[in-house]
Amino acid sequence: MTHKQLTADARESLRALPSVDGLLRLEATGALVESYGRALTVTALRAALDEARDAIRGGEPDQAPGDARLVARARAWLEAALTPTLKPVINAAGVIIHTNLGRAPLSDAALAALQAVGAGYATLEYDLDAGQRGSRAVHAEQMLTRITAAEAALVVNNNAAAVLLMLTALCQGQEVIISRGQLVEIGGGFRVPDVMAQSGARLVEVGTTNRTHLRDYASAISANTAAILVAHHSNFKIIGFTSEPPLAELAELARARGILLLYDQGSGALLDVSPYGLEAEPTVLAGLEAGADVVAFSGDKLLGGPQAGILCGRRSAIEPLKRHPLARAVRPDKLCLAALSATLRPYLTGQTPAEIPVWRMLARPLDEVAADAEAWANHLRAAGVAAHTLAGEARVGGGSLPGTSLPTRLVAIRRANAARLAADLRLGTPPVIGRIQDDLFLLDPRTVLPGQADGLLQAVLAACIGTV
Ligand SMILES: *Cc1c(COP(=O)(O)O)cnc(C)c1O
């Protein structure tokens, strides 16, 4: 709309708006400048004035807002601009390792280690005994070799980096054999063939999507072959007429032909999940025992720690990785190493299911989850919300254990508009993430951390009946 089409009143209102300088002279604005700095406050005042001009031109109120209102809008703009976009949420979606929600929640010990190491200086690369430069490699790696009985270990930024480093350092310019059933995309752009291309290794595909035999691998080995790569298809499942040779047979073949067996295990399961009623997931230890030269996995999936990529295996295969220039580009920082070391400790002392949140959620008996669900539903019903409990399934997620689930007990909330409730809860403080099924809004207590229940119930009540 041009100026000409504005009403006389609107034109008058535009003229009545104060200038930025005028607003800056106000006492109330002085407080903003003190808290937020002059430059940002000026930006906020401009935004408030722009907003007022747009409203007047749009014919909304054709009165100019007063100074107090403009300063209040500027304050709201500043608060919104400085609110972190990365903030905690309550995961009531029943997906234990939810990649979009930051994967594994950290243990108390890992949090304490982050605080202790992050708040000051640390022995990241300093040897206290010798009083001189030390190696950052010692911290988590000693624990990893102790836990896995591998000869050597290396920690990098994430498992994508671990696989890239492994292929680059050990296979560049040579061939790597992989089954067609394992040319997988893990998500977030991690595709095995692309990583292979990036590493400079040449992909040699063998077998078919559903069946690959030992002889397929054997006949593909040439003088140019560096390794066989096995990628755990962690996020999907092929069922029916399928077969893949066991790792141990591939290890034997690799050894006999003088090539490496590299295993992208992915999930970082160091313990067996089958005692918790889940289908067995191949563990890191099983991969090493089967004879893989290197096993690569994530730190923040079933291991339950910070984002990290971990490589365990034979010293002769890990040493070249440590020396490769790419290792420097993907090295972990002190916070990662502090949290990872603290996360690994209970694996040595046998305390994992009690101390690591991911394992606590996996191991939590159904009757405990059901007791929470019952209590929450009662609390909501007492406030007039239509809630009941329901048998359901929680998932491990994070590309682990596809197609298997854990029995859980859900709180189901019946609303005229479940999608609306879900949106209100997402946008609340703290945000609550649930899921919708058959027009019911569902909350799974299994993934809600101890201490979050009160906040969650308050948020639900606020969204359902406007009570806080
Ligand atoms: C998760 C996963 C990756 C990627 O690991 P990030 O830690 O997310 O980089 C690679 N391979 C497999 C098999 C995985 O499961």
Q: Do the Cβ atoms of 343 and 106 come closer than 8 Å? A: yes
For residues 134 and 252, state if they share a domain: yes
- Residue minimizing CA distance to atom 13 of ligand 1: 266
Which of residues 334, 351, 368 is at a domain's end? 351
For residues 331 and 383, state if they share a domain: no
Give residue 297 CA to ligand 1 midpoint distance, Å: 7
Which of residues 294, 320, 351 is at a domain's end? 351
For residues 347 and 377, state if they share a domain: no
User: Is residue 29 pLDDT above 60, yes or no?
Assistant: yes
- Alpha carbon distance 348, 8 (integer Å): 79
Mutational test site, ligand 1, from 101, 234, 281, max ligand atoms within 8 Å of CB: 234
How crowded is residue 310: how many other Cβ atoms within 10 Å of its Cβ? 30
Tell me, using a 6 A CB cutoff, whether residue 298 lines ligand 1: yes
How much is the pLDDT for 325? Answer: 97
In this structure, what DSSP letter does residue 112 have? H
Nearest-10 Cα torsion for 425, 431, 435, 441: -30
How crowded is residue 89: how many other Cβ atoms within 10 Å of its Cβ? 18
For residues 281 and 397, state if they share a domain: no
Closest listed residue to residue 6, CA positions, set 73, 53, 75, 76: 53
Question: The domain spanning residue 419 has which CATH number?
Answer: 3.90.1150.110
Structure confidence by residue, pLDDT tens digits, 143-161: 999 999 999 999 999 999 9
Q: Do the Cβ atoms of 266 and 236 come closer than 8 Å? A: no
Question: Would you place residue 468 in the very low, low, confident or very high pLDDT band (cuts 50, 70, 90)?
Answer: very low
How much is the pLDDT for 6? Answer: 83
Structure confidence by residue, pLDDT tens digits, 226-245: 999 999 876 677 778 888 99
Is this prediction's pTM over 0.75? Answer: yes
Residue 274 lies in a domain: yes
User: Is residue 179 pLDDT above 50, yes or no?
Assistant: yes
Structure confidence by residue, pLDDT tens digits, 269-323: 999 998 988 888 899 999 999 999 999 999 999 999 999 999 999 999 999 999 9
Which DSSP string corresponds to 334-354? HHHHHHHHHHHHHHHHT-HHH
Residue 1 lies in a domain: no
Sequence letter at residue 39: A
For residues 399 and 299, state if they share a domain: no
For residues 341 and 381, state if they share a domain: no
For residues 450 and 390, state if they share a domain: yes
Residue 102 lies in a domain: no
Cα first-last separation, the chain: 43
Whether the CA torsion 163, 167, 168, 170 is positive or negative: it is positive
- Over range 398-408, report the average pLDDT: 78
Q: Which atom of ligand 1 is closest in space to residue 299's alpha carbon?
A: 7
For residues 143 and 259, state if they share a domain: yes
Query: Cα dist. 292→38, 171, 303 in Å?
Result: 60, 15, 19
How crowded is residue 185: how many other Cβ atoms within 10 Å of its Cβ? 13
Tell me, using a 6 A CB cutoff, whether residue 167 lines ligand 1: no
For residues 237 and 378, state if they share a domain: no
Tell me, using a 6 A CB cutoff, whether residue 397 lines ligand 1: no
Q: Which atom of ligand 1 is closest in space to residue 398's alpha carbon?
A: 1
Structure confidence by residue, pLDDT tens digits, 3-24: 557 888 888 899 999 999 999 9
Residue 226 lies in a domain: yes
Q: 9 by DSSP, 3-state: which?
A: helix
For residues 59 and 116, state if they share a domain: no
Residue 3 lies in a domain: no
Sequence letter at residue 209: T
Residue 167 lies in a domain: yes
Q: Exposed/middle/buried for 27, CB within 10 Å: 0-12, 13-18, 19+?
A: exposed
Share of the chain above pLDDT 90, in %: 84
Q: Do the Cβ atoms of 140 and 195 come closer than 8 Å? A: no
Tell me, using a 6 A CB cutoff, whether residue 160 lines ligand 1: yes
Question: The domain spanning residue 226 has which CATH number?
Answer: 3.40.640.10
Total domains in the fold of the chain = 3
Q: Which domain holds residue 231?
A: 108-351
- List the beta bridge partners of residue 178: 205
CA 461 to chain centre: 28
Give residue 464 CA to ligand 1 midpoint distance, Å: 39
Only one residue has tokens 């006949």, namely: 219
CA 72 to chain centre: 37
User: Is residue 200 pLDDT above 50, yes or no?
Assistant: yes
- Residue minimizing CA distance to atom 6 of ligand 1: 159
Q: Which atom of ligand 1 is closest in space to residue 264's alpha carbon?
A: 13
Structure confidence by residue, pLDDT tens digits, 337-388: 999 999 999 999 999 999 999 999 999 999 999 999 999 999 999 999 999 9
Give residue 100 CA to ligand 1 midpoint distance, Å: 14
Closest listed residue to residue 405, CA positions, set 449, 358, 362: 362
Which of residues 351, 385, 404 is at a domain's end? 351
For residues 118 and 13, state if they share a domain: no
Percent helix, strand, coil in the chain, to 5, is 50, 20, 35
Give residue 372 CA to ligand 1 midpoint distance, Å: 33
Only one residue has tokens 């594994």, namely: 104
Q: Which residues of 202-232 are buried (b: 16+ CB within 10 A; e: fewer)?
A: bbbbbbeeeebbbebbeebbeeebbbbbbbb
Residue 286 lies in a domain: yes
* Mean pLDDT computed over every residue of the chain: 93
Tell me, using a 6 A CB cutoff, whether residue 179 lines ligand 1: no
Strands 435-437 and 126-127: unpaired
Tell me, using a 6 A CB cutoff, whether residue 157 lines ligand 1: no
User: Is residue 174 pLDDT above 60, yes or no?
Assistant: yes
Does the bond joining 430 to the residue before it have cis omega, within 30 degrees of 0?
A: yes
Residue 246 lies in a domain: yes
Name, in order, each residue with C-beta under 8 angstroms of 420's C-beta and a sequence gap of 6 or more: none
For residues 297 and 320, state if they share a domain: yes
Any idea what the Cα angle at residue 149 is, between residues 288 and 357, rounded to 5°? 90
- Alpha carbon distance 210, 383 (integer Å): 54
Sequence letter at residue 255: R
Could you give the count of Cα atoms lying within 13 Å of 124 in the half-sphere of its Cβ? 16
- Alpha carbon distance 226, 29 (integer Å): 68
User: Is residue 202 pLDDT above 80, yes or no?
Assistant: yes
How much is the pLDDT for 215? Answer: 97
